[in-house]
Amino acid sequence: MIRQQLAGLKASAQLAKAVHDRSGKVLLNAGVELKAEYLDKLRQYGVSEVWIRDDRLADVAGDESISDASKIDCVSTAAAVFEAARHETSLPMTAAHEAIEAAVDDVLADPAHVVGISATGPTAPEEHAAHVSWMAIAVGVERRMNRDDLCTLGLAGLLHDLGIALLPPEAAEAAASARGERRGDARQHTVLGFKALVEEARASATVAQGALQHHERPDGSGFPKGLREGKISAVAQIVAVADEYGGLVSAPPYGEGLEPGEAVRRLAERDGQLAPAPVIEAFLSVVAPYPVGMPVMLDSQERAVVIRLQRGAAGRPVVRVLAGPDGRATQPRDVDLSQDDTLAIVGRAEGEA
């Protein structure tokens, strides 16, 4: 199967996986043949991509590190937490802990522990929160954290932007948008989230620090306190990198909509500025810019699909070449880009593979 963006997807394609809304409700079941009206409905629900059946990729089972069930659970739980915060009701912290524990166990069970994040459309706050938690967990595994610490780190990632839900609507919209969080009123989301978590008995001080410090920077240029390296918690440093990457790749209005490869280059250039170099290096080794199932363009102008991610070579996965430079289908062949330095991914491939 293959990931396909709704934009440009033709009716009659068959779903390989069920499609869910952000609350976890099934919108369409696997096996359904897409019709024009179905595509329109999915767009209304904010769905930007789906998994499509493709016999050339029958052996591709989807993402390797985090199960579909865990993904759905994390996104829906984040949505429930933010909704509770907006209405000043009790936060569903038990559900949040359980969702993160399941995600941690998924990553620990995968020897590669590489996470691929697909952000082909605008990423809503609850999706961004889930993405940050998964990326943070993978980095934590790479940095040899134990399970309890990984659960704390994942929860900090899931709740790092809790304060956005506590802002007035206009400031909340700015804080969730690309670079709008740098406005003075929007910056208060770090303090508001911290205060809410300090008052929450089921959230640790470390999780609260993650919310407070994830916009601090080693050179003192961050907010809210302008802390420098040595004063910023290890959890907040990891969450900061995951948060920055998520913002770079998500489409407007929530992000900058950069090509994943360009986002990776931006992070590499900020080595030591966004976070200490070892944190950036760990992130780049386990967070894949092009996840499993994504159609990509190679520098040979061939079209391929990512079929397997690899630890330590997250940006150079195994791909299956499906079309030549002229766009015509070719005999599929697998290429391990970590072993073949004559080819490289230059970006996502638009349209159907």
Asked if residue 295 lies in contact with residue 307, where contact means CB atoms within 8 angstroms, the answer is: no
Exposure b/e, 308-317, CB count within 10 A at least 16 = b: bbbbebbbbb
CA torsion 40-45-46-52 (nearest 10°) is -60
Query: pLDDT value at position 8?
Result: 73
Helices 125-142 and 277-286: crossing angle in degrees, nearest 10, is: 100
Confidence label for 85 from pLDDT (cuts 50, 70 and 90): very high
Asked if residue 251 lies in contact with residue 121, where contact means CB atoms within 8 angstroms, the answer is: yes
Alpha carbon of 320 to those of 306, 309, 316, 325, 341: distances in Å?
6, 12, 12, 14, 16
What is the β-pairing status of strands 303-308 and 318-323? Answer: antiparallel
For the ranges 70-74, 183-187, 286-290, which has the lowest average pLDDT?
183-187
Asked if residue 160 lies in contact with residue 136, where contact means CB atoms within 8 angstroms, the answer is: no
Alpha carbon of 327 to those of 89, 346, 350: distances in Å?
54, 16, 12
- Segments in 12-92 forming alpha helices (H): 36-44, 68-86
Q: pTM value?
A: 0.90
Domain formed by 2-53, architecture: Alpha-Beta Complex (3.90)
Q: What is the mean pLDDT of the chain?
A: 89
Residue among 263, 94, 235, 100 nearest 178 (CA): 263
How many residues would you count in the chain?
Answer: 353
Asked if residue 218 lies in contact with residue 233, where contact means CB atoms within 8 angstroms, the answer is: no
Sequence ranges of the chain with CATH classification 3.90.105.10: 2-53
Asked if residue 86 lies in contact with residue 165, where contact means CB atoms within 8 angstroms, the answer is: yes
Q: Give mean pLDDT, residues 128-154.
A: 96
Provide the 3-class DSSP secondary structure of residue 312. coil
Give pLDDT tens digits for 14-42: 999 999 887 788 999 999 999 989 998 99
Query: pLDDT value at position 197?
Result: 94
Query: pLDDT value at position 183?
Result: 61
Q: Any idea what the Cα angle at residue 334 is, between residues 333 and 339, rounded to 5°?
A: 135
Query: pLDDT value at position 269?
Result: 87
Sequence ranges of the chain with CATH classification 1.10.3210.10: 68-288
Q: Which CATH superfamily is domain 68-288 in?
A: Hypothetical protein af1432 (1.10.3210.10)
Q: Give mean pLDDT, residues 194-216.
A: 93
